[in-house]
Amino acid sequence: MAKKIYPGNYVTHLSSYQTQGVAAIPGRVYYQQVGYALVDSTGGTSFDVKIGSPDLRGDDKPRADIASLIVPAGAKVYSLALRVPDMRKDLGAGSASSGLVGTNTNRLKVADALGNDDAMSTSALATNSADVAVASTTVAPVATTKSVVTPVVLAGAETLKVFVTTSNGTSAGATLTSTTAGGTPIIVEVCYYMDAPAPDSEEVHLPVKTEAGGGF
């Protein structure tokens, strides 16, 4: 786990790969974990959310991707988000397209379980599947966020996945695929904080110990 940083050093997004936190408020360490679920030409109805390695080349990756996005027990979760990106190489040309191909009225969500939808509780995390629906056999680029004012404290660790559902939001839908070369990454974010550990001796101005005879 990365050493926590302080607001003065917070100049870019936090490292999800290192589970880096920022001590933005005394007594709390905040985390922003971002990953993606890759939908390829084979497709599926559920997809693991991985955290990408800082080593971007596929043929030269000393640090492997982290296979799952796991929110730890005790996390105070206040936001969960999903984005279907626009996969055009030139965003100024043509119409927005995700490259996804699915069954009309099916939906997409990020959740800890297929049966959870539009939920944020001590044992359930899920965006609202109704916000990301298949229409005209595709999913238009879109984003959705589930957030609460009062964070929920997770009773146990939760592993997030992207699920394809039917129109009821809690049953498995049909196979979702992508026509984009290399696939379409469904971007996922979860934000939470943890209680900061008690200060250690390095954070206290303790008097320097001197030994007898050490002076002049």
DSSP 5: B
The CA-atom distances, in angstroms, between 203 and each of 29, 197, 199 are 16, 12, 6
State residue 216's pLDDT score.
56
Q: What is the pLDDT of residues 191-200, one digit of tens each?
A: 999 998 888 8
State residue 10's pLDDT score.
75
Q: How far apart are CA 21 and CA 25, in angstroms?
A: 11
Q: What is the pLDDT of residues 82-108, one digit of tens each?
A: 999 999 988 888 899 999 999 999 999
State residue 45's pLDDT score.
98
Residue with tokens 């408020």: 25
pLDDT at 127 over 90: yes
Helix (H) or strand (E) holding 31: strand 28-39
Q: How far apart are CA 135 and CA 132, in angstroms?
A: 10
CB contact at 8 A, 85 and 216: no
Nearest by Cα to 191 from 43, 24, 45: 24
State residue 215's pLDDT score.
58
State residue 100's pLDDT score.
98
pLDDT at 158 over 90: yes
Q: How far apart are CA 166 and CA 106, in angstroms?
A: 5
End-to-end distance of the chain based on CA atoms, in angstroms?
A: 45
Confidence of residue 203 (pLDDT cuts 50, 70, 90): confident
State residue 33's pLDDT score.
96
pLDDT at 72 over 80: yes
Q: Where are the domains of the chain?
A: 34-52+65-190
CB contact at 8 A, 155 and 165: no
CB contact at 8 A, 88 and 77: no
State residue 139's pLDDT score.
98
Question: Residue range 107-120: average pLDDT?
Answer: 98
Q: What is the pLDDT of residues 26-52, one digit of tens each?
A: 999 999 999 999 999 999 999 999 999
